[in-house]
Amino acid sequence: MSEETDRRVGLVRCADYDREAVERATRRCLDLLGGMGAFVQPGQRVLLKPNLVRAMSPDRAVTTHPAVVAAVARLVREAGGHPIIADSPGGPYSAAILRLTYRKTGMDQAAAWGEAELNYNAESTQVSYAEGLTLRRLDIIQALLDADVVINLPKLKTHNLTTLTVAVKNLFGLVPGSVKIGYHAKLQENWRFCEGLIDLLTYVKPALHIVDAVVGMEGNGPSGGDPRPIGALLAGADALAVDVAAAALVDIPPLDVPTTRAAAQRGLTTGRLEDIVLLGDPLAELRVPGFRRGAASAVDPGLLPMALLRLLTGSGRENGQSNGHHSLPRMARDWLGHQLVMAPKAGKKCIGCGYCVKHCPVGAIQVVDGLAHMDTNKCIRCYCCHELCPELAVELKRPWLGRLFMGNQAT
């Protein structure tokens, strides 16, 4: 496709999840880009990759809604393709987990409505990727390798690690199950994790991204936030253009999203809304003001007291870039940095099941007397425990210094 085509993003109003209304809105959104036939050829196996992070009901706004997935599947069928719904939720990757996830999230209904296949193949493969800057080898689900075309179907949500999870972050679901934990352990710094996500994007090269923004999630996403009606669908061939438009839709500066910022540093996007070709309904009519971010979003250095900024970064500049000289040893600066972000803690709902223990990438959790205990000195703030807890029992709390400067926000 041409560079001009890549920068186009369709944005259309879609007020609710009525199946016929969603299909009309999806068709209209894709018609702005040349229709599904511009992305799918007859006979192709088309992987539909929704966000199925956890086995939760669609009304929780955690997962891509089945009405959206079904609408896309039907359009793939019309274009002559064979749609296959596939994802790897958090936790173990097995046919049994997939079966539970499909039932809870409504993907079994989506498959029936859209005449799509559900993937139960829990095999995975490690592939070499010499072009990767951070990840030279990638672990991916076999269903990806078996597909001819990938259509990415993210949910527009906040995320406590990446500010938003839209097109780029949704592709992390192509890494199989618990293997994701190893990626968090290997890419502990947030910027390195986001660099790894960009490597994954450039390897997978989805043909199309269609965003479920009918009802999004604000607050402590990706699974512990609150549903927020947005009333829109977005679509585009370029994940980064789609993410820029999605951020603008919820009134978040696109470069505040670290995956977009990482891509901009590689020259893959400018991160500027002005450089995106928006088609369809006016952004100004659909923009959602006051969209609440997750509690652990990146700290804005411009909001910190200058003395603390100098201690933390060795610089008085608001962009937080170091001048190479620090006023404190690294151990002290690391401690200060941890004080400014949320730390996980087991709340009253904890039943001591040990699920968080099994899935902590750095072994920072133990169950003692029937309650999970997190070692904040070992914790790398990947928030896997918060994201995957079956009881939604893990709370995020800011340490005392963070509360002093940034408030006592918790979840």
pTM (2 decimals)?
Answer: 0.82
Does 188 share its domain with 223?
yes
Q: What CATH number does residue 49 fall under?
A: 3.40.50
Does 233 share its domain with 338?
no
Does 388 share its domain with 280?
no
Read off the pLDDT of residues 57-78 as tens digits, 9 standing for 90 and up.
999 999 999 999 999 999 999 9
| β-pairing verdict for 8-13 and 277-280 | parallel
Does 305 share its domain with 279?
no
Query: What CA–CA distance (Å, rounded) separates 191 from 295?
Result: 18
In a domain, 264, yes or no: yes
| Residue 188 pLDDT level (bands cut at 50, 70, 90) | confident
Query: What CA–CA distance (Å, rounded) separates 218 from 225?
Result: 6
| Residue 90 pLDDT level (bands cut at 50, 70, 90) | confident
Does 161 share its domain with 90?
yes
Ranking 91-95, 124-128, 296-300 by mean pLDDT, the lowest is 296-300
Does 201 share its domain with 328?
no
Query: What CA–CA distance (Å, rounded) separates 192 from 21?
Result: 40
Average pLDDT of span 284-307: 67
Does 364 share its domain with 232?
no
Does 237 share its domain with 325?
no
Judge whether 87 and 121 are in contact, CB under 8 Å. Answer: no
In a domain, 291, yes or no: no
Read off the pLDDT of residues 374-391 as tens digits, 9 standing for 90 and up.
998 888 878 889 889 999
Distances (CA, A) of 250 to 22, 30, 164, 289: 20, 21, 10, 6
Total tally of structural domains belonging to the chain: 2
| Residue 396 reports pLDDT greater than 90 | no
- 374: which strand partners? 365
In a domain, 49, yes or no: yes
- 279: which strand partners? 10
| Residue 189 pLDDT level (bands cut at 50, 70, 90) | confident
Query: What CA–CA distance (Å, rounded) separates 261 from 191?
Result: 9
Average pLDDT of span 251-257: 97
Q: Which residues contact 235 (CB under 8 A, 6 or more apart)?
A: 9, 10, 26, 29, 30, 32, 33, 208, 209, 210, 211, 242
| Residue 323 reports pLDDT greater than 50 | no
| Average model confidence (pLDDT) across the chain | 88
Judge whether 135 and 129 are in contact, CB under 8 Å. Answer: yes
Which carries the bigger pLDDT value, residue 148 or residue 382? 148
| Residue 402 reports pLDDT greater than 70 | no
Query: What is the span of the domain harbouring residue 361?
Result: 301-406
Does 326 share its domain with 189?
no
Average pLDDT of span 351-365: 95
Cis (ω within 30 of 0) for the bond into 305?
no
pLDDT for the residue numbered 100: 97
pLDDT for the residue numbered 297: 41
Does 307 share its domain with 254?
no
Judge whether 183 and 319 are in contact, CB under 8 Å. Answer: no
